[in-house]
Amino acid sequence: MREAYPSDGQKPSEEMSWRGTDFSGVIVVLGVGTGRLISLLSQQVAASQGNLIVVSYRLAHLEALKPLAQQGRLLLVHARPRQIPVLNETVDLLVVNGVLREVPENRLVAVFEEMWRVLVPGGRVRIADVIEPSEAEDNRAWAQRGHIVRKLGQALDQPVALSVNLQRAALAMRSVGFENLNLSFLPGYRLTDAWLEETVNAIRVMSGRLVDRALRDEILNQDLKRLIAFYAQGGQRAAERFVLEGTKAGDMALAMEAPFTEEDLVGDEE
């Protein structure tokens, strides 16, 4: 598996990030994120007379894209990624935008088999997501957020999807038959006051559902205060991000060799 690390962290223009890609085929995106990637791809696809299909099970995200879809060549589909609603061997490029983390590890092979089914021979899959935060000082607030979310998930008996185990994901891809795996890393985005406000509010709302008052007080009066203190140290970032690419054996696909850049991962939260 090849690995690449950006040297300067600078963002190329949106147009340059996809230079050399043939957008005249069928491109499917699983996951919406902030919608920035969808906006970029829809412009390129429209100019090339291609077809873009965006799949998400979050209706609010799809609703936000309706004005873009009205411009043409963009189809919005409400579905879960475990059953991609397209015919066998019809997709040139499959973009998995921040949703692989939601797949239980014992279901990874099945999900990659579904991706394999829809890709034409020679088609590519590109997965953009996050890994576990490091122990670096600038990851402390993000790591504390994950600690709280896991604690809430366990107490509420809810699944938690925070990161991807890259090694297991790559092994699952290889077991299905994907070739030419390529792995790139990008720094996590900077955490902002808006991120802190949204995170604090979400934790307070979820904590209000706890029956265990002692646990609720522990989260609100200890864990949450610790998160705020870490953020106040300054320079905090989200966990490192990655792009994992693979190719289905064959030669029927269009030229899809342009690399991902940091701009493609701005909206990796589905």
pLDDT digits (tens, 9 = 90+) for 150-201: 999 999 998 888 999 999 999 999 999 999 999 988 888 899 999 999 999 9
Contact 108, 168 (CB under 8 A): yes
User: How many Å apart are CA 101 and CA 91, to the nearest integer?
Assistant: 22
pLDDT digits (tens, 9 = 90+) for 131-155: 999 999 999 999 999 999 999 999 9
Contact 58, 270 (CB under 8 A): yes
- Average pLDDT of the residues of the chain: 84
Q: Which CATH number fits domain 2-265: 2.40.160.10, 1.10.1060.10, 3.90.650.10, 3.40.50.150?
A: 3.40.50.150
% of residues, the chain, pLDDT over 70: 84
Check pLDDT > 60 for residue 27. Answer: yes
Where in the chain are the domains?
A: 2-265
pLDDT digits (tens, 9 = 90+) for 104-127: 899 999 999 999 999 999 999 989
Instruction: Label the pairing between strands 119-130 and 91-97.
Output: parallel
Confidence class for position 252, pLDDT limits 50, 70, 90: low
User: How many Å apart are CA 30 and CA 18, to the nearest integer?
Assistant: 18
Where are any strands of DSSP class E within the chain?
2-4, 26-30, 51-56, 74-78, 91-97, 119-130, 179-186, 241-247
% of residues, the chain, pLDDT over 90: 54
User: How many Å apart are CA 87 and CA 85, to the nearest integer?
Assistant: 7
The two tokens of residue 264 are 């493609």
Mean pLDDT of 264-270: 46
pTM value surpassing 0.85: no
User: How many Å apart are CA 166 and CA 170, to the nearest integer?
Assistant: 6
Residue type, 267: G
Mean pLDDT of 231-235: 97
Confidence class for position 14, pLDDT limits 50, 70, 90: very low
